[in-house]
């Protein structure tokens, strides 16, 4: 699949409409073990090393562990909604118990910086291809002109 500049611009518009970064993946718990995994523009807690599963796999490496709230039951307003980007898991009541939620939160948090970097890289590489005389992507997409020169 070839992505056009217009499609790339739509992705960039979504990036620009999102909350500014950096974003931080955070996990927290309370005395009832009614935890939450969320993404915030505010760093809370300390960076964790992850959880070792029985399978030997480590999950959640890169999550910030907000330990300051574990003695108090999670309540509405405990996290500033203006600083919350996404809630991956909210366990009060238990809505889901998936280990992947930690990894998803890490992915979402890093997407804030990764997606703009990927857009910039695509445009940089397209510029280099145009400099060496390879047809621009939009030309390839509309006319299906084969690329020559052994580059691909």
Show me where the domains of the chain are located. 5-143
pLDDT > 70: percent of the chain? 64
* Tens digit of each residue's pLDDT, the chain (152 residues): 788 999 999 999 999 999 999 999 888 765 555 677 888 898 877 777 766 667 777 766 777 777 655 444 455 666 677 888 888 777 655 555 566 677 888 899 999 999 999 999 999 999 999 999 886 655 555 444 444 444 44
Torsion of CA 147, 140, 118, 149, to 10 degrees: 10
pLDDT for the residue numbered 87: 81
Whether the pTM exceeds 0.75: the reply is: no
Angle, alpha carbons 33-34-36 (nearest 5°): 115
pLDDT for the residue numbered 94: 53
């Amino acid at each position: 699949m070839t992505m056009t500049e217009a499609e790339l611009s739509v992705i960039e518009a979504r990036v620009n409409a999102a909350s500014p970064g950096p974003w931080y993946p955070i996990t927290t718990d309370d005395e009832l073990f009614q935890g939450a995994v969320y993404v915030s523009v505010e760093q809370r807690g300390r960076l964790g090393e992850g959880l070792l599963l029985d399978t030997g796999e480590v999950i959640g490496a890169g999550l910030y562990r907000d330990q300051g709230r574990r003695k108090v039951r999670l309540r509405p307003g405990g996290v500033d909604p203006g600083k919350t980007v996404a809630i991956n898991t909210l366990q009060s009541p238990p809505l889901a118990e998936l280990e992947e939620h930690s990894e998803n939160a890490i992915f979402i948090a890093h997407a804030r910086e990764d997606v703009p970097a990927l857009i910039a890289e695509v445009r940089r590489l397209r510029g280099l291809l145009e400099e060496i005389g390879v047809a621009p992507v939009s030309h390839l997409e509309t006319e299906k002109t084969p690329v020559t020169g052994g580059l691909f």
